[in-house]
Amino acid sequence: MAEAYIIDAVRTPVGRRRGGLSQVHPADLGAHVLKELVARTKIDPAAVEDVVFGCVDTIGPQAGDIARTCWLAAGLPEEIPGTTIDRQCGSSQQAVHFAAQGVMSGTQDLVIAGGVQNMSQIPIASAMTCAAQLGFTDPFS
């Protein structure tokens, strides 16, 4: 079985709620990290087979496939796919697991995994409470 390796790790500075990073779009936060990762590792961005990001509460500016949105916001090749995982507090860890599984199974050679979230813009549990105005008073209705 093939082995998977973590080659490098990059992150943004830790911000405070309503602090200096609070108005930065989550896609721009993720894009900054992706650009730095590509620059530091000197990988060919076209060789990346997938971008897997964890993100809790994929609504508002984090909606859709924020992993791919971050990749595109970084100005990286359009043909590279992305997928977003919402496993609550384990989302980014699950992204790393999925990336490793892809490499270890032999179906992928180079995958970028990570996570993105701006909790000043989307407070925790927002995805579970935003439907209350539509008559869904709890996340299980």
User: Residue 23's pLDDT is what?
Assistant: 95
Residue 76 in contact with residue 43, Cβ under 8 Å?
A: no
User: Residue 112's pLDDT is what?
Assistant: 98
User: Residue 136's pLDDT is what?
Assistant: 85
Instruction: State which CATH number among 3.20.20.70, 3.40.630.30, 3.40.47.10, 3.40.1360.10 fits the domain covering 26-134.
Output: 3.40.47.10
CA torsion sign for 10, 16, 20, 21 is positive
User: Residue 109's pLDDT is what?
Assistant: 97
Element (H, E) at 92: helix 91-104
User: Residue 126's pLDDT is what?
Assistant: 85
Domain ranges of the chain: 26-134
Q: Would you give per-residue pLDDT tens digits along the chain (141 residues)?
A: 899 999 999 998 888 889 999 999 999 999 999 999 999 999 999 999 999 999 998 999 999 999 999 999 999 999 999 999 999 899 999 999 999 999 999 999 999 999 999 999 988 888 888 888 888 887 776
- The structure's pTM equals 0.91
